[in-house]
């Protein structure tokens, strides 16, 4: 009798005692079989590979106060962590819309939430940009609450194939939706030196924008490693030789983070998309509707703050957050990626 059984697949081999590369972390990437491994990673204050830990969940739930029967929107579905909590609170009879532009992560998030037993009548998942939320109104009829988590998900950052991180060598892409627009590699070739300098300043407040723009402009950089090497080389020349090595290394790392951040924001036109979302938002909220926005960049937070304050002055919002809320000390300890988060809210008049 023919043996139709699938051949045994050996686990990925890796040097040393612990996996380092994303694809080698087979236990973290298979949470259904290795739940205890995920708990171990999280107890160390780390995020398991292929997973995203939702930030400020308790604070978001307090602000949005979702109730049974209400209609809500998670405007940046991501891993679905916030959505899972919101869904539970609008049942019975409520419905949550979840949207995202990422064609790779969106179906995975939908599958996770569907596995919890939520049908289309309770959870509607759509692949659209959150700037286009008004297109949902014919179906939703308006929202009782809206959440927008503006951070890039850990799944996107950690997966080397997405090209979001300078820590591994990968194609220099940085697109949230890889099927649309130009990659970061292509985008860089279209910029003049003044444009690149302005991009680094506007999107990341980069203090070394002038030498970086001079070094990067006109270069064909195909991979993240090539861009990272160019940034490191430029910084070694730009920093004072008398600076202690530890401080030099720290400054170079910060510049790498800012450079990749600035380029990602530009490639995805993130500030313009956020502004369109904030403009469309009031008309999408029902009377008494609540909105919460989590931002991770001063440019994002500044735009949210100004839009909410302008809306309050115009009577569009009845109340807005006087100051941003931050993740608790415990959450920042347990999940260091929450440290940069700022949470703002607004409430529409009844």
Rounded CA separation 327/115 (Å): 29
Tokens of 25: 């972390």
Rounded CA separation 85/260 (Å): 32
- Say yes or no to pLDDT of 14 above 70: no
- Say yes or no to pLDDT of 135 above 80: yes
Provide φ and ψ at 336, rounded to 5°: -55, -25
Strand order from edge to edge, sheet including 71-74? 123-126, 95-99, 71-74, 143-149, 285-295, 342-347, 319-320
Residue 7's pLDDT is what?
A: 57
Question: What average pLDDT does this structure show over 261-290?
Answer: 96
Residue 168's pLDDT is what?
A: 82
Rounded CA separation 74/137 (Å): 14
Contact 154, 337 (CB under 8 A): yes
Mind giving me the DSSP string for 56-83? Answer: SHHHHHHHH---TT-EEEESS-TTSHHH
Residue 258's pLDDT is what?
A: 94
Instruction: Summarize pLDDT for 51-78 with one digit per residue, the tens.
Output: 668 999 999 999 999 999 999 999 999 8
Question: What average pLDDT does this structure show over 254-282?
Answer: 95
Q: Which domains does the chain have, with CATH numbers?
A: 57-154+271-347 (3.40.50.150), 178-267 (1.10.150)
Mean model confidence pLDDT for the chain = 88
Residue 2's pLDDT is what?
A: 46
Centroid of chain to Cα 163:
14
pLDDT bracket for residue 35 (50, 70, 90): low
Residue 77's pLDDT is what?
A: 93
pLDDT bracket for residue 257 (50, 70, 90): very high
Place of tokens 């609450």: 145
Rounded CA separation 134/19 (Å): 45
281 burial (CB, 10 Å; 0-12 / 13-18 / 19+) is buried
Residue 29's pLDDT is what?
A: 54
Residue 192's pLDDT is what?
A: 97
């Amino acid at each position: 009798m023919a043996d139709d059984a699938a051949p045994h697949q050996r686990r990925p081999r890796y040097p040393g005692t612990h996996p380092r590369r994303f694809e080698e972390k087979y236990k973290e990437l298979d949470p259904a079989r290795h739940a205890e491994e995920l708990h171990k990673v999280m107890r160390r204050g780390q995020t398991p590979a292929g997973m995203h830990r939702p930030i400020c969940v308790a604070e978001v739930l307090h602000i949005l106060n979702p109730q049974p029967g209400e209609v809500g929107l998670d405007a940046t579905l991501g891993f679905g962590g916030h959505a899972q909590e919101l869904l539970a609170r609008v049942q019975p009879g409520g419905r949550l819309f979840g949207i995202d532009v990422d064609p790779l992560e969106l179906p995975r998030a939908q599958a996770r939430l569907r596995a919890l037993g939520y049908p289309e009548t309770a959870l509607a998942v759509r692949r659209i940009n959150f700037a286009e939320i008004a297109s949902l109104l014919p179906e939703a009829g308006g929202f009782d609450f809206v959440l927008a988590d503006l951070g890039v998900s850990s799944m996107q950052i950690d997966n080397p194939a997405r090209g979001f991180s300078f820590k591994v060598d990968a194609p220099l892409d940085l697109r949230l939706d890889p099927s649309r627009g130009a990659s970061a590699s292509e985008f860089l070739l279209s910029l003049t030196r003044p444009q690149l300098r302005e991009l680094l300043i506007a999107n990341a407040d980069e203090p070394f924008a002038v030498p970086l723009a001079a070094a990067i402009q006109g270069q064909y950089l195909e991979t993240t490693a090539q861009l990272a090497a160019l940034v490191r080389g430029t910084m070694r020349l730009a920093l004072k030789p008398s600076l202690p090595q530890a401080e030099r290394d720290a400054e170079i790392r910060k510049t790498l983070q800012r450079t990749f951040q600035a380029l990602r924001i530009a490639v995805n036109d993130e500030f313009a998309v956020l502004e369109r979302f904030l403009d469309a938002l009031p008309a999408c909220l029902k009377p008494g509707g609540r909105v919460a926005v989590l931002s991770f960049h001063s440019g994002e937070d500044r735009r949210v703050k100004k839009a909410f304050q302008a809306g309050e002055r115009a009577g569009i919002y009845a109340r807005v957050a006087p100051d941003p809320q931050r993740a608790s000390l415990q959450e920042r300890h347990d999940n260091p990626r929450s440290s940069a988060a700022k949470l703002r809210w607004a409430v529409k008049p009844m």
